[in-house]
Structure 1
């Protein structure tokens, strides 16, 4: 699992605004709760241990997702763009949860916080759905984030292979961005799984999901060549309506845990390029058992 070995080793702009043209007919994400506890994932990774050395300060992290709740007291955006044209509101909740896992601010008395609260969060809204989005808008978001100097780009969604998408990934990597992407989920109704993109492209830090025991989650897509696992079951995070949501599952929530660790590393070791950071994340992952975890789980890679 990402985090513990790497965090232990650490112990030794405003984005351009895209005008919104129309609000969605309905903006009614599931209701959250104001009562929140500390999740197993936060306890296990315990990022506060290294905040004296790195909070991700001044590292720009782009969240390409469903938008981010602008009113949540733990979320601060350095920039936002509405690529859909439906307004900045997160009408799904997904993007708000992803952003919170990465960079939710620490507030005394609130048990939830992000991995790297010092980051500069950029929100690129490319869809109003948790299940799909237009590939051309995802491409636009990746390129725009790279142009704005994002050193970490989180993509908690999947699509099919496309030459223009691969070109956008290459473009962002050439601009020294670490791209963290979800390996994708497989449900019983999906049938035969297929590789998820952009996670399956070379150079992308592909993230699968693990449970509290460190084992690969049943729903985590094994067809995607996974680089590392992150917590992906029974999670909690920020949610629209100045609230929180419990019981979140999916590789899309595992990815931002990894993105948060990447931001901590990039702030602590600013001379490392994106390829070196990616290799460091993989090499310092904890070991575990089972198939479908990728090279990060080889005992030869552990430190």
Structure 2
């Protein structure tokens, strides 16, 4: 989509500001511009340090349309599907129960109805927030349901066992899509088994291809942004996602994703706070994965007959050609694809009339010839009879 140069500059500046401010505590974060409007939003943080306060409600809302909504053509998508009837599990820090944009559509497992960190509530809003008065923000699938499943401790620290257990719990609780917020270097065995368990139950698992912030190098001198396999995204059956910003590029300081399946908006992203109607701004592959999880809900609502593998194929085959391919929800829910059960209909058997019989033709020919002979006989009689009578039927040479 083409934008004026001035708007593009503002968008790039806002993204850079969001990335710079995304490190630190959610409750004490400074303000960052959410989109190209004047409203400023507090920045989303990562796991909380010991003693840090829990996330608070935001008193600010995004008043202008966040860039992912226009980039992903979501208003056009919602004419076809809004994700109704599909449950998306959010395996994260929990999802707050007092979020107006999610009201009536959140079910929590255990203590996952409390979100001290705020990341799970933010991601749930990106996936399924409904429009509310006074705000231009909405999630990708605004009528989908959310299943909150804890994948971290209360301070936001994830472990392979917690995440694997969260994936299995979400599957057993009936989710058709499982969003995982974390990208872990360890836990290959248990996370591979968990993703396979979900796939065997026709569940699509979506996960970030890299963490939101790069881990420290082994010598502790700097962040290590080199590409490496992270789990559960690296598991074959999972849908791995990397991020890009309003200008189409990734921040140079972000971890390099390892062979991501899709890319989606993930920098300078607006999301819901853990309580109240306000918003925060955040960046990272985990937020890109939230956009893809919402898109999976749209496809599963639009084409309920497709299994998990077919849903993933549809999203990848309709994505904008790039490296990695960029999510295109409108194409995913609207294009007709060959060899896809969502567009395959039984064609009625062709009816071929039998070859016409030649009997009527022969009969007509006989009648025509007989008629012609009869006419000739009558014509001859019309000439011969009068002359015969005139000569009293005497021969002409008599």
2:147 to 82, 103, 122: 122
1:282 to 316, 325, 340: 316
CA contact (8 A) 1:234 1:246 kept: no
Q: Does 1:264 align with 2:290?
A: no
Q: If each structure's helix is expressed as a fraction of its own residues, which one has the higher value?
A: 2
Cα separation, 1, equivalents of 2:253 and 2:242? 9
CA contact (8 A) 1:183 1:220 kept: no
| Range 149-158 or range 29-38, more displaced | 29-38
How far residue 79 of structure 1 moved from its aligned partner, in angstroms, is: 1.7
Q: Does 1:244 align with 2:271?
A: no
1:49 aligns with 76
1:11 aligns with none
How far residue 33 of structure 1 moved from its aligned partner, in angstroms, is: 3.2
Residues 143-222 of structure 1 aligned to structure 2 (within 5 Å)? 143-159=168-184, 160-184=186-210, 185-187=212-214, 189-191=222-224, 193=226, 194-222=228-256
Q: Does 1:230 align with 2:261?
A: no
CA contact (8 A) 2:239 2:312 kept: yes
Name the structure, 1 or 2, with higher relative contact order (CA <8 Å, separation 6+): 1
1:5 aligns with none
1:14 aligns with none
How far residue 166 of structure 1 moved from its aligned partner, in angstroms, is: 0.8
Gaps of 5+ in 1: 2-23
1:141 aligns with 166
How far residue 48 of structure 1 moved from its aligned partner, in angstroms, is: 2.3
Cα separation, 2, equivalents of 1:248 and 1:236? 7
Q: Does 1:65 align with 2:92?
A: yes
How far residue 223 of structure 1 moved from its aligned partner, in angstroms, is: 4.6
| Range 120-129 or range 59-68, more displaced | 120-129
2:107 aligns with 79
Provide Cα deviations, 1:173-230, integer angstroms capped at 9, x if missing partner.
Answer: 0111111101123537332543210001102110000011222343444352200101
How far residue 30 of structure 1 moved from its aligned partner, in angstroms, is: 5.7
- Computing the radius of gyration from Cα coordinates, the structure with the larger value is 2
1:102 to 127, 137, 145: 127
State the secondary structure of the residue aligned to 1:213.
coil
Cα separation, 1, equivalents of 2:291 and 2:178? 12
Counterparts in 2 of 1:169 and 1:236: CA distance versus 1, 3 Å: same
Cα separation, 2, equivalents of 1:218 and 1:134? 27
Cα separation, 2, equivalents of 1:286 and 1:33? 36
State the secondary structure of the residue aligned to 2:195.
helix
Q: What TM-score do the two structures reach when normalised by structure 2?
A: 0.62
Cα separation, 1, equivalents of 2:119 and 2:298? 23
Q: What TM-score do the two structures reach when normalised by structure 1?
A: 0.81
